[in-house]
């Protein structure tokens, strides 16, 4: 009889949890940091991630992405907090991708500094109705998260504000699920003190970083700073507990290491904490979700991190709590420490597998020299490149005073030695391009004769104490191009960049040690002078060279201003061209031998800029493999051919 009862109870609980799981709109995923956490819409490094990255994330087994956004910074500020159209353009593209890939997307308002005061109500009430109006017709795979980790607010004050924001969204959008959270940094305690809201289409979120001594060892932003703390084990192991660093003697950390961690650092304590979240959801009849959990890599041992992630992720899954780990790439992420964080090569496999992800098949990275042209900037920063603007002066990556396309780079009021960085995610070997007489091609405009600006390649500093990040520079001044306020095409051979020494805490003179085999980044630098009041524009920056095949790619001034972005591409690209007058236009795709494989356009077109969105391997498109292709644009009196590089 007891066996029968146990079997019935087992089946009941199995059914109960399967029902709960079925009710969850998503199950597991990642926080995609380093993308929309920018100071303003024009500073969003949009090319940091592509549709291919989202496909990679889905292949892990994820069905949700939480996208942290400095949402308040995407507006023009007080009093109206009007959202910048550039931000909408970017986020719309991301939502297009997630909808196409059938991924859920959480728009996480991650404006940290505003989460500390009651005054946060003003921007929230202004911004979220705009978001609701704009996205109300999107699929239900989109979720709104009102505010990340409200902290210095009283729980009662935050509850009132949050309810008002929910109501403001519902004026325009009753369809999409809203994610709400408690005060006290959005933790489990804060959530359990939050009274159930009247709205029924909500998910209640909590973050989980217990035990803090373990998850935040090495964190400089903790209070006090834990930068000197490292080697804290998980679970607790008396033989491995580190001594308290002198900088933390007398703080709560010292007592934590001696006493509290004996219980705090156990699996049982983790489960007890998560059980409190489960009890809150059950008591209130609401859905709950763990929006963040993670361990900082800097000072934690990998085996301990892996064990913690495995225990937390598996218990959340057991309790049918959907989750998004913090983060994907970055200090808490799923990639090996000190790696290039390339999906195919650098996934921390034990961590991924322990969390229930399916990492890609093991692949060893083979470093190869570049053999094809690539873009550094064409409306957006090129694929595989991270851009960082200098901290002072004006650097606008989306100036509409462009030569072609939609945007260009505009720089002014730069202090001396300011650098606009284009950091190659994987260092580049440009030796073959140098040998092949490749050039840095770009459109350039400046208004101040007598000034100058420097283009620079910076190589990689190795572990050799005598090595430094060596420079190769080329100075742009009026001996190179007129500074007359009009656009000019500039081509600089890579061979013309000269050794220029290194700054590595102190100055090291040129020793001709620059290594084209290990190029870390490209820079635009106000090296020679402060550029106060001096204005510079750059557009369509590309490392260019002779075509690899028998097809001739048009060089020089493009009358049709033909371009493609992204290029190289994986699954799709936008082809753009300009007509000065109405004309019959034919746009075709050619293979490397010159054979036409697809006609994209054959029609009469009006003057202006035209854009074609070309997706590879669709129903009406041929199946294309990795390699070199071309697109040809022809009118009655003009003909241009542009190379397309298709990658995996």
User: Do residues 315 and 392 both lie within one domain?
Assistant: no
Mean pLDDT of 532-553: 76
The confidence score (pLDDT) of residue 175 equals 97
Intra-chain end-to-end CA distance of the chain, in Å = 60
509 shares its domain with 619: no
Are 307 and 395 members of one domain?
no
Distance, in Å, from the CA atom of 257 to the CA atom of 255, rounded to the nearest integer, reads 5
The three-class DSSP label of residue 573 is strand
529: CATH: 2.60.120.430
If asked whether residues 388 and 515 sit together in one domain, one would say: yes
Q: What is the 3-state secondary structure (H, E, C) of 378-429?
A: ECEECCCEEEECCCCCEEEEEECCCCCCCCEEEEEEECCCCEEEEEEEEEEC
Q: Is residue 272 domain-shared with residue 412, that is, in the same domain?
A: no
Residue 601: left (phi > 0), alpha (psi -120 to 50), or beta?
A: beta
| Higher per-residue pLDDT: 286 or 636 | 286
Mean pLDDT over residues 160-164, rounded?
97
Question: pLDDT averaged over the chain?
Answer: 89
Pick from 71-85, 261-275, 331-345, 488-502: least confident: 331-345
Residues 583, 445 share a domain = no
- Same-domain status, 68 and 176: yes
pLDDT digits 0-9 by tens, 393-409? 999 888 999 998 888 99
234-270 tens-digit pLDDT = 999 999 999 999 999 999 999 999 999 999 999 999 9
pTM (2 decimals)?
0.74
Q: What is the pLDDT of residues 117-155, one digit of tens each?
A: 789 999 999 999 999 999 999 999 999 999 999 988 889
**What pLDDT is recorded for position 548?**
42
Q: What pLDDT digit, counting tens, does each position of 498-525 carry?
A: 999 999 999 999 888 999 999 999 999 9
Q: Is residue 19 part of a domain?
A: no
Give Cα 171 to chain centroid, integer Å.
32
- Residue 632 in any domain: the answer is yes
- Tokens representing residue 595 in the block: 């054979």
**Domain match, 420 and 483 both:** yes
Report residue 547's pLDDT band, with 50, 70 and 90 as the boundaries: very low
Tell me: do 408 and 279 sit in the same domain: no
Residues 315 and 445 in one domain: no
CB 319 within 8 A of CB 274: yes
Q: Is residue 524 part of a domain?
A: yes
- Percent over 90 (pLDDT), the chain: 66
Q: State the pLDDT at residue 102.
A: 97
Please report the pLDDT score of residue 577 as a whole number. 81
Exposure string of 607-645, with b = 16+ CB inside 10 Å and e = fewer, is: eeebeeebebeeeeeeebeeebbbbbbbbeebebbbbbb
- pLDDT number for residue 549: 44
Residue 569 pLDDT greater than 50, yes or no: yes
Which of 544, 576, 610 delimits the end of a domain?
544
User: Which stretch, 493-507, 582-596, 619-633, has highest mean pLDDT?
Assistant: 493-507
Give a yes or no: residue 232 inside a domain.
no
Same domain? 318 vs 394:
no
CATH number at residue 579: 2.60.40.1930
Whether 588 shows a pLDDT value over 90: the answer reads no
What average pLDDT does this structure show over 99-108?
Answer: 97
Number of domains in the chain: 3
CATH number, domain of 308, equals 3.20.20.80
pLDDT tens for each residue of 467-507: 999 999 999 999 999 999 999 999 999 999 999 999 999 99
Q: Which residues lie below 8 Å from residue 19, measured CB to CB, with a gap of 6+?
A: none
- Let me know if residue 259 belongs to a domain: no
> In the structure encoding, which two tokens stand for residue 446, read together?
């400046």
Does 29 map to a domain? yes
Q: How much is the pLDDT for 617?
A: 64
In a domain, 558, yes or no: no
In a domain, 138, yes or no: yes
* Domain extent for 171: 25-211+265-354
In a shared domain, residues 448 and 480: yes
Whether residue 338 is predicted with pLDDT greater than 80 in this model: the reply is yes
């Amino acid at each position: 009889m007891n066996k029968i009862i146990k079997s019935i109870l087992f089946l009941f609980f199995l059914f109960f949890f399967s029902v709960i799981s079925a009710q969850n709109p998503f199950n597991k995923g990642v926080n995609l940091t380093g993308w929309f956490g920018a100071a303003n819409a024009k500073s969003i490094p949009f090319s940091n991630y592509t549709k291919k990255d989202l496909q990679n994330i889905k292949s892990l087994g994820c069905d949700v992405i939480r996208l942290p956004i400095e949402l308040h910074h995407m507006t023009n500020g007080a009093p109206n907090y009007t959202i910048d159209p550039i931000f909408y353009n970017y986020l719309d593209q991301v939502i297009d991708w997630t909808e196409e890939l059938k991924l859920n997307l959480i728009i996480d308002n991650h404006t940290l500094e505003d989460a500390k005061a009651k005054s946060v109500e003003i921007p929230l009430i202004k911004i979220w109705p705009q978001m609701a109006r704009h996205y109300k017709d999107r699929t239900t795979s989109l979720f709104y998260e009102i505010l990340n980790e409200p902290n210095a607010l009283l729980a009662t004050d935050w509850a009132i504000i949050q309810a008002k924001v929910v109501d403001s969204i519902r004026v325009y959008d009753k369809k999409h699920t809203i994610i709400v959270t408690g005060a006290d940094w959005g933790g489990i305690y804060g959530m359990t003190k939050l009274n159930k809201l009247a709205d029924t289409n909500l998910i209640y979120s909590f973050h989980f970083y217990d035990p803090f001594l373990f998850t935040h060892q090495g964190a400089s932003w903790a209070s006090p700073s834990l930068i000197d703390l490292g080697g804290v084990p998980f679970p607790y192991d008396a033989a491995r507990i580190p001594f308290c660093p002198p900088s933390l003697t007398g703080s709560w950390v010292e007592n934590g290491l001696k006493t509290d961690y004996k219980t705090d650092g156990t699996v049982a304590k983790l489960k007890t904490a998560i059980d409190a979240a489960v009890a809150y959801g059950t008591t209130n009849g609401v859905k709950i979700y763990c929006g963040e959990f993670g361990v900082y890599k800097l000072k934690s041992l990998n085996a301990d991190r892996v064990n913690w992630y495995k225990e937390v992720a598996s218990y959340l899954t057991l309790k049918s709590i959907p989750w998004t780990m913090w983060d994907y790439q970055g200090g808490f992420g799923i990639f090996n420490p000190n790696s290039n964080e390339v999906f195919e090569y650098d996934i921390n496999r034990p961590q991924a597998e322990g969390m229930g992800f399916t990492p890609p098949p093991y692949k060893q990275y083979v470093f190869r020299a570049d053999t094809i042209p690539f873009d550094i900037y064409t409306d957006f920063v090129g694929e595989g490149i991270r851009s960082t603007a200098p901290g002072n002066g004006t650097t606008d990556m989306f100036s509409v005073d462009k030569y072609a396309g939609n945007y260009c780079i505009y720089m002014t009021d730069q202090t001396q030695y300011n650098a606009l960085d284009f950091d190659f995610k994987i260092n580049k070997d440009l030796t073959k391009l140098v040998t092949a007489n490749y050039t840095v091609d770009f459109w350039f405009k400046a208004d101040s004769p007598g000034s100058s600006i420097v283009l620079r390649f910076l190589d990689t500093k190795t572990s050799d104490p005598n090595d430094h990040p060596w420079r190769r520079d080329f100075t742009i001044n009026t001996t190179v191009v007129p500074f007359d306020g009009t656009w000019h095409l500039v081509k600089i051979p890579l061979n013309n960049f000269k050794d220029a020494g290194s700054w590595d805490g102190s100055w090291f003179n040129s020793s001709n040690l620059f290594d084209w085999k290990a190029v870390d980044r490209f820079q635009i630098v106000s090296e020679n002078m402060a550029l106060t009041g001096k204005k510079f524009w750059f557009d369509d920056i590309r490392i260019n060279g002779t075509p690899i095949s028998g097809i001739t790619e048009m060089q020089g001034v493009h009358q049709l201003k033909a371009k493609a972005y992204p290029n190289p591409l994986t699954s799709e690209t936008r082809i753009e061209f300009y007509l000065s007058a109405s004309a019959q236009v034919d746009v075709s795709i050619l293979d490397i031998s010159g054979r036409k494989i697809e006609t994209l356009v054959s029609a009469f077109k009006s003057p202006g800029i035209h854009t074609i969105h070309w997706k590879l391997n669709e129903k009406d498109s041929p199946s294309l493999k990795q390699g070199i292709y071309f697109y040809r644009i022809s009118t009655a009196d003009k003909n241009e051919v542009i190379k397309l590089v298709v990658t995996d």
